[in-house]
Amino acid sequence: MHQLFAASVASPEASAQLAEIGGALLLLGLVAMVANKLKFSVVPLYLLIGLALGDGGLIPLSLSEEFLNTGAQIGAIMLLLLLGLEYSAYDLAKAFQKRKSAGLIDFLANATPGFVIGLIFGWGLPGALALAGITYVSSSGIAAQLIKEMGYRRSEVSKRAIGVLVFEDLALAPYLPLLTSVVL
């Protein structure tokens, strides 16, 4: 019990950090409430707020940077977990089986230009591979959230899109170690 009271008497730095985090969460909550009332997706608004509050933004969140980095890592894991919870393994496997050719076309159409531009810029193999990965991969978590918010979760189009995104996620498994070995 003594530790509980000791934690409540925080240093000025800890108090400022908590105020910064609380202010950011309050802003995100208010934006989500307004977006919900306007029937607008909150995803692009969160991205804009991130730009406004990030490095070089209007109000940089410098005190809570470590907390936000940890939260971002947890958030990425949770997005992938929720994607797995939204769609059954059977649905994802079926979509992946049907969409392998679409996944390959997605890879060729998006990774190849990045790779070629990296070589044209003279970045060598490591830079070209990194740019290919940047131009190739989409955010399956963001796409799944937008599909859910728009009410298209069970439509055939969303199943196709999720199939391609799963293909991208699976392609990252060999890509990241390959890129690391080339860069290091």
Domain residue spans of the chain: 1-63, 87-184
Quick one: pLDDT at residue 104? 85
Quick one: pLDDT at residue 1? 46
Quick one: pLDDT at residue 126? 92
Per-residue pLDDT of the chain (184 residues; tens, 9 = 90+): 455 445 555 688 888 888 888 888 999 999 999 998 998 888 888 889 988 887 777 888 888 888 888 888 888 788 777 767 766 777 777 766 777 788 888 889 989 999 999 999 999 999 999 999 888 887 777 777 778 777 777 777 777 787 788 778 778 778 888 888 888 7
Sequence letter at residue 98: K
**Residue 63 CB neighbour total at 10 angstroms:** 17
Quick one: pLDDT at residue 27? 93
Look up residue 140 and give its two tokens.
């399956």
Quick one: pLDDT at residue 124? 93
What residues have CB less than 8 Å from 103, skipping those under 6 apart?
96, 163, 164, 167, 168, 171
Tokens 């209007």 belong to 58
Quick one: pLDDT at residue 31? 94
Measured torsion, CA atoms of residues 165, 169, 184, 115, in degrees rounded to the nearest 10: -20
In whole angstroms, what is the distance from residue 146 CA to residue 79 CA? Answer: 12
User: Helix, strand, coil: what percent of the chain each, to 5?
Assistant: 80, 0, 20
